[in-house]
Structure 1
Amino acid sequence: MIDNSSRVPDSLLSRRICQMVKLDPDAPAVFFDGQTFTWSFYADAVADLASLLAAYPGARRVGIVLRNRPGPIAALIATLGTGREVVTLSPHLGDIGLEQDILDLAPDVIVAEDADWARAAVLGSSEMVGAIALRTGADRGLAAQPVSWSPRPSLRDPGDVAVLMMTSGTTGRPKRVELTYDRMTAAFRAAGLVFDDAHEPHLRGRTDILWASVAHISGLYFAVAHVVEGRTIALLEKFEVVAWTELVRRHRPGYVRLPPTALRMVLQAGVDTETFDSVRAVGSGTAPLPPELMDEFEARYGIPVLGNYGATEFAGAIAGWTLKDKKQWGPRKRGSVGRAHHGIELRIVDGETGSVLLPGETGLLEARGGQLPGADGAWLRTTDLATIDDEGFLFIRGRADEAINRGGFKIPPSVIEDALAAHPAVDEVSAVALPDPRLGQVPVAAVTLLSPATEEELMEYLTSRLTRYQRPVAIKVVDQMPRTPSLKISRALVREHYFDGDTQHEAVEVPETSPGDTAMTGEPS
């Protein structure tokens, strides 16, 4: 048994957070829904969490129902500021999924707003795991919820874990990955942030806009970065063109983040060019950036779009464009996601032999660096097919797996298939991707039945089992599944036989947890 009763990691990131939130207590830190929250809001949250948990030094793992609201973000900052481990809990999960997450992860502490504590799944599961329950909100710091908690011996080594986060499922079923304090620090440094005990911290004047879900790596990364860098943020609960453009006009940021889905929405909404008067560059990540979309946006607004490449497992982006590279290489490297960030090495290998390929040859991408998981110096193999040219520019050619990329969220077909297969009337399931003009891809599913069930009933069945973006836009009941010679269901034939020509879908919209940018922080260099 490991005794973690008194150990709280003393990381550079935690020290930086505690420094930044105390620099100017009355300066604005967050603008949200017509309200201004000063840096003292964060400082109070750090102090509140330390005080509330002083009697429970073993309570290190803090589950937070992470909405894009000041209270949950303050809880995130407080957890990292006190050297504890954040367990991300998505408010967009159905009750069954959220309850299972809490039961599986057994956080020592759960933090949520009143609306989420009203959900039986949150309150009931927190009682079952014996968690300390804390309320948060815009009108308070952190307050104890009257739920009993009995200190229990922990078998977990407290180690250096900062965030236990769910991946989006690019390489298979979504899984939890550990992001350590050291790796998060390395990710910030790779993106150009300099902070250590030798540099005097200070607040910056410009305001950034944060709308990417903090329950996912993009939003969480930038929520923490805004504190580390000392920038004010204007916060949105999700991306909406009108609300976002109003914030751009009001706060005049120098750099904004728009993944391909949001770029397309801005273009389709006909946002005027004056809105972008202050913007020097637009960062775009989370999903492949079609060159034609980039060209259209740049032609209309005269602003360079800087693509990037990253993943949850990487604690952010590991490659991207800079303004300098864009000016020098832009037209010649059209379609590239940029070059490796500082401290990151990239190479392309043969998927079968592992041999390193020459510039321009296509193979599996491997990476190594301080922000990547694994042993020091070890290469991490991805499932992305890619090439690297003579100047070091990375081009992503596709995926070696079958993940469906819906506006930046990666959905393994097995997630949909397993959820539908649990219905008592369902025999077999095959989920596939269809092209979509706005989101890139959307999921659909074909099912065979053991007993009668309508497609509407099956859709309703998924509402409490899958997030909104994981749910298929269409389900078709079919007589039989097409198969390969080895008798496996052929997804290609399912798409061809049952969904060929289906390019229009009802209610195809940006997922409620709109994807954000896994790129850089602050302004581009």
Structure 2
Amino acid sequence: MSINPNLDRAMAQPDDALAIWFEGTSHSWREVRGFGDALEAILAAKGVSAGLPIGIVCRNNPPHAAALLSAARSDRPVVMIYTLQSLEGVANDIRKLGLAAVVALAEDWTEQAIDAAREAGTIGISCTDRASLNLSVIPGLDVLGASHQAREPQPMSISVLSSGTTGKPKLVEVSAQIFSRALATMSVSDVPGVPVRPNLAFTPISNISGLIQFLGSIARGGCVYLLERFEMESWLTALDVCAPDTLIMFAPMIHAFLEKEVPKERFGSLRAVFGGAGPLAPEVQQAFEARYGIPIYWGYGCTEIAGTAASWSPALAQEFGSTKAGSAGRAIPGVELRVVDPETGAEVPRGETGLLEARVALVGPDWIRTTDLAAIDADDFLFLRGRADQAINRGGFKILPENIANAAEEHTSVRDAVAFGIPDARLGQVPVVAIQPLDGATVTEAEVIAFLRTKLAAYAVPTRVLVMAEIPRTGALKPDLPKLKSAATQSSGLPIVATQQGRC
């Protein structure tokens, strides 16, 4: 089944039409389709039929983007293998998934990965480098395992790693139909008859948000500007090249643009910004909109529904924008939301906090329970209150990390803050907060501890503050909790400006 008619049309553009920008290079649709044809020829020659899934050890670069588009054009199921993990983790995924073939950069075909593919009977396909569209079969990984040859063909789907919204991160198979719905939600602000400019894809296309950014840009604008990560200057350069009318942004980016006082002219092409993947403080949204004159429409979604569940729209912003600050908007058409008691599963009264559940017609009749704490008010607006699975249990006291981080960000010298729990032999867990000072500002752990004592209950005051040059984040710009927890417990591996032992 085709993912989306608009995507089909985009992939059928004339040969000389532009498909992908990447680090100063560009590739036409002739090149992208040629890569796909070469890939499918290799798979056919090795006995990998069209219905057998293949894996992509996926990075934001042209060969992996072209491999993904080839799978979509051929209605072939594909599994995205996450690269933001150890080399051993990649090899373990190749072994565990047991796919008919795996496409990866030459640099990712380590001895561990080759051994894993050999054990799984997996055809190994190597891409020469990150920019060019050349591929070859790995010597010794050129024979399809007998177990694959007897497998039944599967319908088109893309399997991606979830963000953990409904529990521990896991591989989620997303059907073509659900992806079509996700791409449709990206077009809600398009103006009929007005061509859409290509967009930027800067979060990993191996996860759901990056994948929808990437496919959405192709489906709506006909091509895409790929970035391997968000770095302000390269991102702004890409913005100059593409001049898109709408963009996806995340809260840390908006903070950074305001703090660096990026000139208004750099955003001259934009008429709207969409965002999500975490809360955006109302005052930050107001400051951005006032400085740049561009409205922000925040939303909420998760991997299991492959797209947006709730969002603001221009009409909602006009009617409720001044009274629903901090909300993620209302449920979009085709989605139902409710908030339930985590113990009983009963729906809680309007305005009260509980676990968020979603039901999406295209996904199925069941309610999908998330680990997000939320409230829905009398006007059906969704307010996120944090993550239940990240709550810190300090000797029986439950502490929401978001409450600590929000309080720390009220300090006049703090730009960004992330709170989390670390193990403690006596109390089970204790809270820690990492802070990133404003450029040029100086702040000590003692100052932050003293400030937080005026804002939080005694049991919620962190036992330690990490004052960091920069808070580490994943490719999707979410806080990198494993690195932060490692820094808190080992005091190594990150640019910590100052750390001391705080006392509560």
TM-score by length of 1: 0.74
Query: How many residues are matched?
Result: 431
Does structure 1 residue 87 correspond to structure 2 residue 79?
yes
Does structure 1 residue 301 correspond to structure 2 residue 292?
yes
Q: Which moved more, 1:67-76 or 1:344-353?
A: 344-353
Could you say which residue in structure 2 is the equivalent of 1:162? 157
Does structure 1 residue 152 correspond to structure 2 residue 146?
yes
Q: 2:216 aligns with which of 221, 225, 229?
A: 225
Does structure 1 residue 318 correspond to structure 2 residue 295?
no
The 1:268–1:371 alpha-carbon spacing in structure 2 relative to 1, beyond 3 Å, is: farther
SS in 2 for 1:347: strand
Residues 5-29 of structure 1 deviation map (CA, whole Å, 9 limit, x = unaligned): xxxxxx0317764543222221112
Q: In 2, distance between residues paired with 1:442 and 1:127? A: 43
**Identity between Structure 1 and Structure 2 (%):** 32
Could you say which residue in structure 2 is the equivalent of 1:12? 2
Q: In 1, distance between residues paired with 2:202 and 2:391? A: 24
CA drift at 1:309: 0.3
Does structure 1 residue 176 correspond to structure 2 residue 171?
yes
Could you say which residue in structure 2 is the equivalent of 1:399? 387
Could you say which residue in structure 1 is the equivalent of 2:425? 481
SS in 2 for 1:12: coil
The 1:504–1:297 alpha-carbon spacing in structure 2 relative to 1, beyond 3 Å, is: farther
Does structure 1 residue 114 correspond to structure 2 residue 116?
no
The 1:223–1:403 alpha-carbon spacing in structure 2 relative to 1, beyond 3 Å, is: farther
Q: In 2, distance between residues paired with 1:121 and 1:511? A: 27
Letter in 2 for 1:27: A
Contact 1:135-1:145 within 8 A present in 2 as well: yes
Does structure 1 residue 139 correspond to structure 2 residue 132?
yes
Contact 2:417-2:433 within 8 A present in 1 as well: no
The 1:239–1:494 alpha-carbon spacing in structure 2 relative to 1, beyond 3 Å, is: closer
Q: In 1, distance between residues paired with 2:421 and 2:34? A: 47
Q: Which moved more, 1:135-144 or 1:18-27?
A: 135-144
Q: In 2, distance between residues paired with 1:35 and 1:205? A: 22
Contact 1:32-1:234 within 8 A present in 2 as well: yes
Contact 2:247-2:274 within 8 A present in 1 as well: yes
Q: In 1, distance between residues paired with 2:74 and 2:174? A: 16
Letter in 1 for 2:418: Q
CA drift at 1:354: 3.0
Does structure 1 residue 52 correspond to structure 2 residue 46?
no
- Structure number with greater CO (CA < 8 Å, separation at least 6) is 1
The 1:158–1:390 alpha-carbon spacing in structure 2 relative to 1, beyond 3 Å, is: farther
Letter in 2 for 1:152: A
Q: In 1, distance between residues paired with 2:20 and 2:188? A: 20
Could you say which residue in structure 2 is the equivalent of 1:75? 67
Letter in 1 for 2:320: W
Q: 1:39 aligns with which of 1, 10, 29?
A: 29
CA drift at 1:351: 3.0
Contact 1:365-1:383 within 8 A present in 2 as well: yes
Residues 391-410 of structure 1 deviation map (CA, whole Å, 9 limit, x = unaligned): 32211122222179xxxxxx
Could you say which residue in structure 2 is the equivalent of 1:281? 272
Residues 222-256 of structure 1 deviation map (CA, whole Å, 9 limit, x = unaligned): 21222333432222111111111222233221112
Q: In 2, distance between residues paired with 1:325 and 1:231? A: 29
Q: In 2, distance between residues paired with 1:308 and 1:111? A: 33
Residues 111-148 of structure 1 deviation map (CA, whole Å, 9 limit, x = unaligned): 1122222x333333222222111123532244333323
Contact 2:196-2:244 within 8 A present in 1 as well: no
Contact 1:241-1:269 within 8 A present in 2 as well: no
Q: 2:372 aligns with which of 380, 384, 391?
A: 384
SS in 1 for 2:147: coil
Q: In 2, distance between residues paired with 1:442 and 1:235? A: 31
Q: Which runs of 5+ in 2 are unaligned?
A: 393-400, 410-414, 435-457, 479-504
Contact 1:14-1:83 within 8 A present in 2 as well: no
Q: In 2, distance between residues paired with 1:498 and 1:330? A: 32
Q: 1:63 aligns with which of 55, 58, 78?
A: 55
Q: Which runs of 5+ in 1 are unaligned?
A: 1-10, 195-201, 405-431, 447-479, 484-488, 517-525
Does structure 1 residue 189 correspond to structure 2 residue 184?
yes
The 1:226–1:252 alpha-carbon spacing in structure 2 relative to 1, beyond 3 Å, is: closer
TM-score by length of 2: 0.77
CA drift at 1:259: 0.6
Contact 2:162-2:169 within 8 A present in 1 as well: yes
Could you say which residue in structure 2 is the equivalent of 1:508? 470
Q: In 2, distance between residues paired with 1:203 and 1:57? A: 42
Q: In 2, distance between residues paired with 1:493 and 1:282? A: 33
Could you say which residue in structure 1 is the equivalent of 2:94? 102
Letter in 2 for 1:481: A
Q: 2:418 aligns with which of 422, 434, 441?
A: 441
SS in 2 for 1:107: coil
The 1:128–1:62 alpha-carbon spacing in structure 2 relative to 1, beyond 3 Å, is: same
Pairing of 1:120-135 with structure 2 (within 5 A)? 120-135=111-126
Q: In 2, distance between residues paired with 1:352 and 1:205? A: 47
Contact 1:364-1:385 within 8 A present in 2 as well: yes
Letter in 2 for 1:165: V
Letter in 2 for 1:359: R
